[in-house]
Chains A and B, each alone.
Chain A
């Protein structure tokens, strides 16, 4: 019994990483007012590119870095179309999603062709932290994880500190709340929006790269399985704040692991119903929390100084 619980919780932490990283990436862009809805596509590109680079270079680190760069590229495109060209964020986000979806399947086919046995990369090894991992019960859960689990937690804490404890963070948040004010006080709103969206894109790309490196060891079409969309829900659930998003990821991940477990054990329910489980849970949670969720004041809008009406 004890080992089942430990196993379950260890898996929850392991599976939370894509949620955490994609959620924080979404949050960061949103904090300057850019509402990204291309996560699913960006994660797929991250997964695809991350897998291919790791496969050919043999270096997982290089794979992660290139996946992050691909995410940054999508973030840059989103920032350019919305902030510089002032186009509708939602429409551009959906377009980027479809581009990501297409590119992610096209690249492996072009480069690898069709293979009988799937090409594999080594999955991320767990790195036990000395001493701490020996602690009974919590040791194996918290301190025997792969590197990206630790990274995702550190990124969350780092973002919290940056946003709420530094001057730049204060300025960044002001852009997402009321850019007219920020602009009138000499804060460069355009620069803020570009950087937050680009770095947010990197985190989302990294979230994608995690999937082939931990689960399958290979890239399969649509392997994100809606995690990108769930990241948007998670960000609202976490009130666009880093730490609540981290806790929320645990919930989303737990639901996912649970649904998977029930599938493996086998039950009277058809597995399609079980696969719907995370989404149904999301809707229920959103109904309960959505109204109370605090959203950046300018989320989803583009700021045009010339339109200043006084």
Chain B
């Protein structure tokens, strides 16, 4: 790392409607460093970088690139200035090949024959130099998330950027893929690139970054050299003064005992050889066996899209099982639908809050009782008792810290994090025997995440069963008693708490069941 500043953002301010997303934030990137941009959800990290990349317009502030003020109107300008960004959601064309995706929009030498030998050579050279192995002739749709991310990085490198922004790049990568990514990033900065690494995961910035800037609620908190600061300093900077870190689960360091199964005879929920075949004839779940006991949190790990959503929907009765058996407290409930299950002791936090979990045009109170609205105390079986609904809602709004004026407000006016709180309040308030929580902390800041974890552990104390499906491996390892790893609709392995090992889980996540098998990495052609 040299001591020369290549990029500087000065006093950037951005307002969305009523909300101040960035309040006079400054940021300086040195040549040849990996600079971590750390903060919880809603801290403004992505907003700041989207302004730099020209996706958002800043309201105030200045961008200095190599000591000159620049005006970036859109991604094209950004690329022209040598700034590349790898988004959390890849911008790729799934039925084009890797090479086609990389060269798209640039001048190909043989533009009337598309003989791209020269371009392929250049890309292969980049692949080798930075350890980004990917087969150039593969279709994007056949690639894993990790490989698609490499393509996205190659797209930027191919355009010759010297500043690379990575937005939460480790989401949905296996631990092995994360390690490989970090090695590649180090090679890149040694080669002269400068990297901004956006993340909410403290451990990652500590292991890979040279300097770290912490944002919280749209404000600069601190910028420190990695070697000058301890973990505690960053924790405090991320969450502010209010949070009780000592007693938090998010930052807990002591070892917690796993669930002791010998004390309970029967599971609350049992799936036996469950198969699900989708309407277009594709098997989504294959011979799946799973037990969740009262007083236990069972985590489901896996790369997104391997059957997690289907599993959640099968358990909660949203989708009927093709064949197999589902037992709840000893009763066969295979053919019961979600209407029956939600009134008889199930609760569900769906993954996609906007399409499955929330009615944006209904009131906050209506959203809070959704699913429980057919049973007492909200209904006598025919009519809904709105008085009770409102008094209960007011209670939940306070308890779950939902930012709204009254229970009668329209749900769609809430922010994403608050909508998530409504869904959490709804699921936790019913003290259900079986809870299915799919990415329950998505979009929440750290104190709110911690609150959800406390609630889950309280369920555990109360001998209730919880099935936690999450894309966040740290989250699963933090609070699960057992972790089952799902891959292409199959449970490849189950680990109990004392055996938790992120690399072992990572191997199962990429479909490797024994250590002798070769890794999934493809060699260059």
B residues near A, CB below 8 A?
Answer: 46, 50, 55, 75-76, 79, 87, 89, 91-96, 100, 104-108, 111-114, 280
Contact = CB atoms under 8 A, between A and B. Distances in A.
A310 B104 contact: no
Contacts of A291: 280
A294 interface: yes
Interface string A279-310: 00000000000010010010000000000101
A186 B94 CA distance: 18
Interface string A251-288: 00000000000000000000000000000000000000
Interface in A87-122: none
A30 to B, nearest CB: 14
Interface residues of A, number: 23
Given A171-B105, A184-B75, A310 B93 contact: no
**Residues of B contacting A: mostly:** loop
Given A166-B114, A170-B100, A186-B79, A180 B91 contact: yes
Contacts of B89: 310
A193 to B, nearest CB: 16
A290 to B, nearest CB: 12
Nearest to A177: B93
A43 B466 CA distance: 62
Given A186-B79, A291-B280, A308-B55, A167 B94 contact: no
Contacts of B112: 165-167
Contacts of B111: 166-168
A170 B94 CA distance: 13
Contacts, number: 63
Interface in A176-200: 177-178, 180-182, 184-187
A218 interface: no
B114 A165 contact: yes
Contacts of A166: 111-114
Nearest to B89: A310
A170 B96 CA distance: 9
16 contacts: A164-B114, A165-B113, A166-B114, A167-B107, A167-B111, A177-B95, A180-B91, A181-B92, A181-B104, A182-B105, A185-B104, A185-B106, A186-B76, A186-B79, A187-B105, A310-B55
Contacts of A186: 75-76, 79, 105
A152 interface: no
B87 A167 contact: no
B392 to A, nearest CB: 33
Given A171-B105, A182-B104, A184-B75, A310 B50 contact: yes
A181 B91 contact: yes
A15 interface: no
Given A168-B111, A178-B93, A187-B105, 17 more contacts: A165-B112, A166-B111, A171-B104, A171-B105, A173-B96, A174-B93, A174-B96, A178-B91, A180-B91, A181-B91, A185-B104, A186-B76, A186-B79, A297-B93, A310-B46, A310-B50, A310-B89
